[in-house]
Copies of this chain bind each other. A is one copy, B any other.
């Protein structure tokens, strides 16, 4: 069973026991997200505006260029966020993990498309309602502002990776970056889940599938990582961090 299937499975079975309250707990758990800025009463109020949704793998959450009507809070599973060029070239601008918010940018149209990498659960908010809610909560707006600022910072880091790093460094920094994000969700795990395909990684790093595969193979041959089904394990964290930091 894949990591994400397992996650979703536990999700669903809990749902069966606890009903919608589980969703509540799940959102509440991500204290680093939007909700971390809220008191219990505010959180309950916000939660009443939300609509729980489930997506199958490959299902679209929203599409580039369409009017942005919703805000999403991912509660389980992961998604890829990407832009397409007219000729089919693709750039993945990010991966969304549980606890991440999508659609915070307040633009009237989606700047990119998003689809599910795995079975995925999310809370959806109508943009109108969400917008009205934050208008009454200045501290929440500050939180949102901070989150968008953080995303901007990540995007700038990725610009360095895309513009100035070698293929090997790109793969290393991708693994390090992903490890850091998974660590918030399951600090104990020594394995980095990779719910995305090699093609997705390539489109995130500005490489080709073949180059990504070769670099992973090389790192594995040199005992820096161990490739496992749907993930990798870091064997030599110092070496790979050296590659990633340059």
- Give A contacts to B, CB under 8 Å: 83, 85-87, 89-91, 93, 104-107, 111-112, 135, 138, 141-142, 144-146, 148-153, 155-160, 162-165, 203-206, 245-246
CA of A245 to CA of B86 in the docked complex: distance in angstroms? Answer: 8
Which residues of chain B have C-beta atoms less than 8 A from A104's C-beta? 149
Residue numbers in B under 8 Å from A112 (CB-CB): 156
Residue of A112, A144, A155 with most chain B CB atoms under a 10 A cut-off: A155
B106 touches A164 (CB 8 A): no
Q: Give which listed residue, B138, B148, B149, B152, contacts A138 with CB less than 8 A.
A: B138
Q: Select A93's contact among B91, B141, B159, beta carbons within 8 Å.
A: B159
Residues B105 and A206 in contact, CB atoms below 8 Å apart: no
Which residues of the partner chain B approach A155 to less than 8 Å between Cβ atoms?
152, 155-156, 159
Docked CA distance A206–B148 (Å): 25
**A77 CB to nearest chain B CB (Å):** 22
Verify B141–A83 contact, CB threshold 8 A: no
Q: Which of B91, B144, B146, B153 is within 8 Å of A163, CB to CB?
A: B91
8 contacts between A and B (CB under 8 A): A91-B160, A105-B152, A144-B145, A148-B152, A155-B155, A163-B203, A163-B204, A164-B203
- CB-based contact A163/B162 at 8 Å: yes
Complex partner residue of A148 from B145, B203, B205, B246, CB under 8 angstroms: B145
Chain B residue at minimal CB-CB distance from A86? B246
Flag if A89 contacts B149 (CB, 8 Å).
no
Min distance, Cβ A173 to any Cβ of chain B, angstroms? 11
Is A160 in contact with B85, judged by CB distance below 8 angstroms?
yes
Distance of A153 Cα from B68 Cα, bound (Å): 14
A164 touches B246 (CB 8 A): no
